[in-house]
Amino acid sequence: MAKTKTKFFCQSCGYESPKWLGKCPGCEAWNTFVEEVETVVKSKGLHTNFLNKKEKAVSIINIESSQEERIVTDNRELNRVLGGGIVPGSLILVGGDPGIGKSTLLLQTSHLLTQLDLKVLYISGEESVRQTKLRADRLQAVSPQLFVLCETNVEHIEAAIDEIEPDFIVIDSIQTVYHGAVASAPGSVSQVRECTGHFMRIAKMKGIATVLVGHVTKEGAIAGPRLLEHMVDCVLYFEGERHHSYRVLRAVKNRFGSTNEIGIFEMRESGLVEVNNPSELFLSERPLGVAGSTVVASMEGTRPVLVELQALVSSTNFPSPRRMATGFDHNRLSLIIAVLEKRMGMFLQNQDAYLNVAGGVKLDEPAVDLAVAVSIASSFREQPTQPFDVVFGEVGLTGEVRGVSRVDQRVREAEKLGFRRVILPQKSLKGWTPPAGIQIIGVNTVAEALSAALV
């Protein structure tokens, strides 16, 4: 017989408590504790088919080291984010806002895998098989190797996996799946944790690459306990603005590759299309000769991306001016403004400062600092920047410009898009040969950068 006892779980972080609490000690969220019935099973219980198989410890010297074989799809952006392709037996978690295109991306990926003569099982807990077929017809993702199942019971899903023996599985979504032995409702902490553990064992034991779709909270984090992200091998976030047609696929955890890569897609009527040159897309609507606009060369993993920064500085009558940033760290913006006030003599204490990364891209690299300083100074002085300049470099608290990495890739990307000058740190000029068709200006301080960039 199984014993049942009641516990309270935080639905945000999974913190466990024997009694109800108004504020979670783990994540400090309010009113997130929900009562759940925890079932304690003796002897025969969940996953007994996996637990009955015993593994022996092996010396690490006797283990053969081999490179992980990857499934390389025709989707180059997805391959880039995953580190070169899909690793068999890996468990991947994909999160994103509702309607951002998660199901579209995975259905298109499933179709591409069937073109490699692989079996794919697409399990939908939110849509019927007819709804999935309608979306597949619109995306032209119809193949006899693609199997669709509308099921939310883990045991029934496992039976279908044993029958079809697929090479790739999509669970859409993990919050709708439940296990009959767990008394709580689908989407609760216990159900999400138990079902994820079950799919993890299936993926590892049978070598099937499995993708779990996860809902996100209002803050943008994947709903459910943080334990969910610790259990999987790779966590991908599908980001994008509703008013823009492009989407960004970003890896925040990857056991088989880098977490600095991003994949960029454009949403069209026929589905998601890869963007091979994101810099050209982000700069397509850039105004020329306008104060406050600067182009920066940022690195997203191994790919250089040119993005436009827009700054607006306006006077205010309030005692504390506003500092707002979209796509850039708010604290970093305040630091750069303080450097401009202290080192450049700009009186910004009665000025509101707004910074926007055009296109909705998020930049967190220190090399963006110099372009932010140039944009703010350009808007404050009402002096436009040179329209064909690219600026990058890290700004220190004493007003110096520090060197950055991968300078040659940034400069070559600027040359490819027709820019004529690049303003960069003087210390980054060593160890590489600049192209002949572009002018390189090395600066040591922010003052030198402003004198060179502003008209």
The rounded Cα 253 to chain-centroid distance in angstroms is: 9
Q: Which CATH number fits domain 71-276: 3.30.390.50, 3.30.70.20, 3.40.50.970, 3.40.50.300?
A: 3.40.50.300
SS3 for 261-293 is CEEEEEEECCEEEECCCHHHHHCCCCCCCCCCE
Q: Write out the DSSP string of 244-261.
A: SSEEEEEEEEETTS-SS-
Q: Check pLDDT > 50 for residue 46.
A: no
Nearest-5° Cα angle at 169, 14 to 101 = 75
pLDDT digits (tens, 9 = 90+) for 181-224: 887 788 888 888 889 999 999 999 999 999 999 877 655 566 55
| Owner of token pair 């079932």 | 39
- Our separate counts of H helices and E strands in the chain read 12, 21
pLDDT bin (cut points 50, 70, 90) of residue 38 is low
Say how many CA atoms lie within 13 Å of 382 toward its Cβ.
2
Q: Check pLDDT > 80 for residue 399.
A: yes
100 in a known ligand binding site:
yes
- Give the DSSP H or E segment for 64: none
> Where exactly are the structural domains of the chain?
1-43, 71-276, 281-453
Residue 307 structure tokens: 């993005």
pLDDT of residue 111: 95
Q: pLDDT higher for 28 or 79?
A: 79
When pLDDT is averaged across residues 377-403 and rounded to a whole number, the result is 95
| CB 73 within 8 Å of CB 109 | yes
pLDDT of residue 178: 92
Instruction: Show Cβ contacts of residue 2 under 8 Å, excluding neighbours closer than 6 positions.
Output: 39, 40, 41, 42, 45
When pLDDT is averaged across residues 421-439 and rounded to a whole number, the result is 91
Buried b (16+ CB within 10 A) or exposed e, 145-172: bbbbbebbebeebeeebeeeebbbbbbb
Q: What beta strand segments (E) does 15-124 contain?
A: 16-17, 33-40, 91-96, 120-124
pLDDT of residue 6: 80
What Cα–Cα distance (Å) separates residue 27 from each residue in 12, 50, 236? Answer: 7, 33, 22
245 in a known ligand binding site:
no
pLDDT bin (cut points 50, 70, 90) of residue 285 is confident
99 in a known ligand binding site:
yes
What is the pLDDT of the chain when averaged over all its residues? 87
Whole-model pTM?
Answer: 0.76
| Owner of token pair 């050209």 | 280
- Give the DSSP H or E segment for 436: none
96 in a known ligand binding site:
yes
pLDDT digits (tens, 9 = 90+) for 91-128: 999 988 888 889 999 999 999 999 999 999 999 998 99
Question: What count of residues does the chain have?
Answer: 455
pLDDT digits (tens, 9 = 90+) for 222-245: 655 566 788 899 999 988 766 677
pLDDT of residue 2: 52
pLDDT bin (cut points 50, 70, 90) of residue 27 is confident
98 in a known ligand binding site:
yes
Q: Check pLDDT > 50 for residue 69.
A: yes
Q: Which CATH number fits domain 281-453: 3.90.1200.10, 3.60.15.30, 3.30.230.10, 1.10.3470.10?
A: 3.30.230.10
Distance from C-alpha of 327 to C-alpha of 21, rounded to nearest angstrom: 35
Q: Write out the DSSP string of 331-370.
A: HHHHHHHHHHHHHH----TTEEEEEEETTS-----GGGHH
Closest CA to 353 of 331, 369, 337: 337
Distance from C-alpha of 245 to C-alpha of 359, rounded to nearest angstrom: 10
pLDDT of residue 359: 77
Q: Check pLDDT > 90 for residue 17.
A: no
423 in a known ligand binding site:
no
